[in-house]
Every structure is written in C-alpha cells, then in structure tokens.
Amino acid sequence: MNKVLAFSVLLFFSFRLNGQEIEEYFHPKENFEQRKDTLLADIPVSWVFRTIPGKYITQQYQDDEVLQKYHFRDTELAINTRDFKLSFNKMHFQDTIGFDPQVFNMRFLGLKEFNPKTEELQFFLTIQKPDTDWTFPIYLFVKLNGTSRFELPVFEDDY
C-alpha cells in the first residue's frame, strides 16, 4: 500500500511540474536600433545602439503556479566614421569590472559631449543587473582617429 501511495504522489507531482504554466516577457518587447548621424570636426560620424538578435539574459521567478521568465535583450554600441568602425558590448568591459555576463546587461544613456580640442566623443553607458540597483557607470571615450578608452567614474552616495 505504501508503494502505491508513494508512486501516486510522485506521479501527481511529475504531472504538476510538467504541466506548469510559463509566462515569458522580453524587454524591450522587440529588437530595436537607435541611430544618430552627425558631422564633428568636418568628419561624418554615426553611432548605433541596438539589440543583438537572439542574445539576452534571463531572470525567472515562481509566482504561485506560474513560472515567470523575463528576458532582457543584450545590446551593443557601434561607432562609425569613414576611417573606422568600432563595436562595444558588455564583454568589452567584463575583465575590468568583473561582473557576471549571465546576469548583467549594457545600457546606453547617450553622448555626453564632444571635445573639439581632443576630437574625442564621450559616451555614457552602464552595465547593470536588471531590476536591481547594481549598476556600473562607464564613460566611453572614442577619438576620431579610431582609438578608444573608458573610465569608471565614482559617484558620491547621497545617503
């Protein structure tokens, strides 16, 4: 009798797990591409911030009977002039910052400034763990000759 009861319980939970409802969400919902074209120091410059098709990080939560999966799309920043093409994604910064690429993604906040004396663009990016306050701010500098560097700014807490 105990074997039949144990088998019934295992069979019940097996069907329950296999039949579990799963809801999936993507952020952003669709792949995107944000493009900016301009003329700096008489040189045509463009940058494109876009999702990388098929690449995302996933967070999942159990909510009662429903497994909820949130997929956050991975992104890249491409910078182009007539003389060079550069591309940056989160892995470009991973060795320096030391984050887990399976749970962090990159966000592009925009062009902060262009310095005409040094012919250097300064972009503001973050590496972040979605839905948390774990964020690494990054200043990415790209010169019009195709060289690049980045800095990790330090901000004072307001606490």
Is 157 part of a structural domain of the chain? no
Is 116 part of a structural domain of the chain? yes
The tens-digit pLDDT sequence of the chain (159 residues) is 565 555 454 444 444 455 679 999 999 999 999 999 999 999 999 999 999 999 999 999 998 889 999 999 999 999 999 999 999 999 999 999 999 999 999 999 999 999 999 999 999 999 999 989 999 999 999 999 999 999 999 877 776
pLDDT, tens digit, 9 for 90 and up, residues 6-42: 545 444 444 445 567 999 999 999 999 999 999 999 9
- Helices marked H in the chain: 2-18, 91-97
Let me know: does 145 contact 41? Beta carbons within 8 Å: no
Is 17 part of a structural domain of the chain? no
Is 65 part of a structural domain of the chain? yes
Closest CA to 62 of 97, 99, 23: 23
pTM (2 d.p.): 0.81
Find residue 81's DSSP bridge partners.
Answer: 45
Is 137 part of a structural domain of the chain? yes
Percent helix, percent strand, percent coil in the chain, to nearest 5: 15, 55, 30
Cα separation, 6 vs 1, whole angstroms: 9
The CATH number linked to 125 is: 2.40.128.510
Q: How far is CA 46 from the centre of its chain?
A: 21
Q: How many domains does the chain have?
A: 1
Domain that holds residue 67: 22-151
Cα separation, 19 vs 22, whole angstroms: 9
